[in-house]
Amino acid sequence: MNRQQILQLCMQELSNRRTQAQTVAYKNLMKARKHPEFLEIEKKERQLIFEIGKMSAFGGVPIEIQMKLDDIREEKNEILKKIGIHPDKLKPSYHCPHCSDIGYIDKVQCTCLKKIINNILMKESGVGKEILTDFKDFDENVATEQSHKETLLKLKKKFETYLDSFPYNTPKFILLSGKTGVGKTFITECLAKGLIDRGFLVSFVSAFGMNNMFLSYHTCFDDQKQNYMSALIDPDVLVIDDLGTEPNLKNVTIPYLHVLLSERSRLNKLTIVTTNLDAQEILTKYNERIFSRLCNKKESFRAQIVGTDLRLNPNK
Ligand SMILES: [Zn+2]
């Protein structure tokens, strides 16, 4: 799915929500209109609003007229309560109180729209499952060695401070190195879940999947081309899982990885990379420029997790 298709799907979802809220309100109105006293007061209200409209076109509305309208509305609410309909039920009760399910506030995407987009992206992303882990489930005691526990706990604390201030006071890159099973992906998912809950767009991709997208981009010559890179550049947060497991495709992997990392850095977007490689191996497998992107202290937070495979812990 490209960006346009995802957005279309989201707008359809919002439109369904809006229609549903409006239908409920309309049904309640029809129910109220079965009562003659409601019809009567509604008619009075309409007439007065019409009068007020005329008056304001010709100067001003006297305060007593305005007060009369307030009285009528109060009486209308009383009637509604008497016939067992709460006055609020005549107004559509929108899913999102901020944007009334329109998806935008002053041309800026509302968090509800971001969430819908995110759900679709999550389904589209390499993970293919919904992340349910978060820091509430975090337990450093799954690790057996003391140093491993301490590293996990330190990372948790660090990531929680990022969560509180994101997108400010956070690095552009987080690089987590360590052997399989030491908790890199788990702790990354905890951070990602927190960011998703705060309404940010987070996308997951395996290094293998990312490499395939680079290849698709490289070999595509129609107007779909840009979509392959946009999917990686657009999200507020991109998680690249297991960097180093992808095959090195000549003229593809290294140059496009460099473009991707530079572009995300330029846009101040967080990229999280998990890898089995240590710094030296990153330098050897890729190049100086990619190494300095991922490993420079100014833009990047780097941590190495050392320990035994958590999944082998019998106490877990
Ligand atoms: Zn909204």
314 pLDDT above the threshold of 60:
no
Question: 2: pLDDT confidence band, cut at 50, 70 and 90?
Answer: low
The CATH number assigned to the domain holding 289 equals: 3.40.50.300
My answer on whether 153 and 77 are in the same domain is no
Domain housing 258: 125-312
CA of 102 to the centre of ligand 1 (A): 7
CA of 130 to the centre of ligand 1 (A): 22
CA of 94 to the centre of ligand 1 (A): 9
CA of 286 to the centre of ligand 1 (A): 42
Protein residues within 5 Å, CB atom, of ion ligand 1: 96, 98-99, 110, 112
My answer on whether 85 and 189 are in the same domain is no
As a whole number of Å, the CA-based R_g of the chain is 28
- The contacts of residue 207 (CB under 8 Å, 6+ apart) are 240, 241, 242, 243, 244, 245, 246, 275
My answer on whether 93 and 142 are in the same domain is no
My answer on whether 97 and 196 are in the same domain is no
The pLDDT of residue 34 is 96
CA distance 261 to 172: 9
CA of 97 to the centre of ligand 1 (A): 7
My answer on whether 140 and 60 are in the same domain is no
CA distance 40 to 33: 9
In this structure, is residue 244 part of a structural domain?
yes
My answer on whether 280 and 177 are in the same domain is yes
CA of 163 to the centre of ligand 1 (A): 22
The pLDDT of residue 197 is 77
My answer on whether 185 and 252 are in the same domain is yes
CA of 198 to the centre of ligand 1 (A): 13
- Residue 203: strand, helix, or coil: strand
Cα dihedral value 48, 51, 52, 54, nearest 10 = 160
User: pLDDT: is 281 or 195 the higher one?
Assistant: 281
The pLDDT of residue 128 is 45
Query: Which residues are bridge partners to 300 per DSSP?
Result: 173
CA of 249 to the centre of ligand 1 (A): 43
Number of domains in the chain: 2
CA of 106 to the centre of ligand 1 (A): 12
My answer on whether 179 and 300 are in the same domain is yes
The pLDDT of residue 204 is 84
With CA atoms as reference, report the closest residue to 226 among 8, 11, 4, 7: 4
My answer on whether 45 and 129 are in the same domain is no
CA of 184 to the centre of ligand 1 (A): 33
Question: 316: pLDDT confidence band, cut at 50, 70 and 90?
Answer: very low
Question: 231: pLDDT confidence band, cut at 50, 70 and 90?
Answer: confident
pTM for the whole structure: 0.65
In this structure, is residue 85 part of a structural domain?
yes
CA of 161 to the centre of ligand 1 (A): 26
Query: pLDDT tens digit string along 133-189?
Result: 778 878 888 888 999 999 999 999 999 999 999 999 999 999 999 998 898 988 998
In this structure, is residue 114 part of a structural domain?
no
For the segment 238-264, the average pLDDT, to the nearest whole number, is: 96
My answer on whether 92 and 37 are in the same domain is yes
Taken as a whole, the chain contains a residue count of 316
In this structure, is residue 110 part of a structural domain?
no
For the segment 60-80, the average pLDDT, to the nearest whole number, is: 93
User: pLDDT: is 222 or 154 the higher one?
Assistant: 154
Of 69, 102, 135, the position where a domain reaches its end is 102
CA distance 68 to 76: 12
Query: pLDDT tens digit string along 8-57?
Result: 899 999 999 999 999 999 999 999 999 999 999 999 999 999 999 988 88
Query: pLDDT tens digit string along 74-130?
Result: 999 999 999 999 999 999 999 999 999 999 999 988 888 887 876 776 666 544 456
Query: What is the sign, positive or negative, of the torsion defined by CA atoms of 45, 51, 57, 58?
Result: negative
In this structure, is residue 107 part of a structural domain?
no
My answer on whether 137 and 261 are in the same domain is yes
CA of 68 to the centre of ligand 1 (A): 35
CA of 14 to the centre of ligand 1 (A): 9
CA of 128 to the centre of ligand 1 (A): 25
My answer on whether 139 and 57 are in the same domain is no
